[in-house]
Amino acid sequence: ISICRDLPNIEVITFSVNGISDLEPLNQCQNLSELYLRKNNITSLNELFYLKNLPRLRVLWLSENPCCGSDPHRYRMTVLRNLPSLQKLDNQAVTEEELSQALVDGEEITAPPSRRSVENGCPEATESSAAESTTETESELLNSLEETNKIREELGMKPVPRDKFSSFSPRETDCDRKKRNNVLNAILLLTKELDAEGLEIVQQTVGRRLQAFRKKELQEE
């Protein structure tokens, strides 16, 4: 997610199911209008502090993060009190009545969360995280695929086939897979920032990489 510091003009960010815990890199994305962060590792609603000064943010998907807690009303009210310009939260439209109620029931966030010593990424394996990995459903992977293909559609690119998106080496860990999907989304988003010359350089580089991979596959056969 740190790549977002270099994308001040980006409008849509899709980082669902990626182990993200820190939203500070987003605070310079002044043109951001849609942010998808479903099922990450955001533990504190104080992370909303970094989104409060994004004037164009209209869509936020934050559900299935630890910060949502056990009280869905308090969670929704706190988000809307701090981000009153939202039109949709967690795929549910925001009403005028909710915005008024949020001033009463929501908690005002005035400071960022305490700095943590652990950087964003996949945490060390624990029993709980391992259990969560094993319970990640196929539908969640398909949601991530749909979000990736939404970006590709905006860029005029063909969608990623399901088998290409979710087929990984047996040795590849759940963490590796999430990182791979994250990198793929980041690359697709970055292409929006390139001009024709830059896109041609990327095309040439990708072409050379593909040739190298195909040559290696032929040698292994």
What is the DSSP secondary structure assignment for residue 88, as one 8-state letter? Answer: E
Last residue of a domain, one of 105, 120, 142: 105
Selected residue with higher pLDDT from 11 and 132: 11
Give, in order, the Cα–Cα distances in Å from 72 to each of 44, 66, 75, 132, 196: 14, 12, 5, 21, 46
Tell which wins on pLDDT, 150 or 53: 53
pLDDT tens-digit readout, 109-129: 999 887 554 444 454 444 444
Copy the structure tokens of residue 192.
């929006």
Which structural domain, as residue segments, surrounds residue 200?
176-218
> Residues 92-107: what's their mean pLDDT?
94
The average confidence (pLDDT) of the chain is: 78
User: If you ran DSSP here, which 8-state letter would residue 59 be given?
Assistant: E
pLDDT of residue 87: 94
Distance (Å, rounded) from C-alpha 47 to C-alpha 112?
A: 6
Q: Which of 49, 71, 105 is the last residue of a domain?
A: 105
pLDDT tens-place string over residues 52-71: 999 999 999 999 999 999 99
Per-residue pLDDT band for 193 (boundaries 50, 70, 90) equals confident
Q: Are 38 and 91 in contact (CB under 8 A)?
A: no
pLDDT over threshold 90, residue 155:
no
Count of structural domains within the chain: 2
Please say if the pLDDT value at position 216 is more than 50. yes
Q: What is the pLDDT of residue 220?
A: 73
For residue 81, the domain's CATH number is 3.80.10.10
Average pLDDT value for residue range 80-107: 94
Position 161 in a domain: no
Final residue before a domain boundary, out of 105, 133, 167: 105
For residue 126, the model assigns a pLDDT of 42
Q: What backbone phi and psi angles, to 5 degrees, belong to 162?
A: -60, -40
Q: Are strands 59-61 and 92-93 parallel, antiparallel or unpaired?
A: unpaired
Name the residue with higher pLDDT: 108 or 169.
108
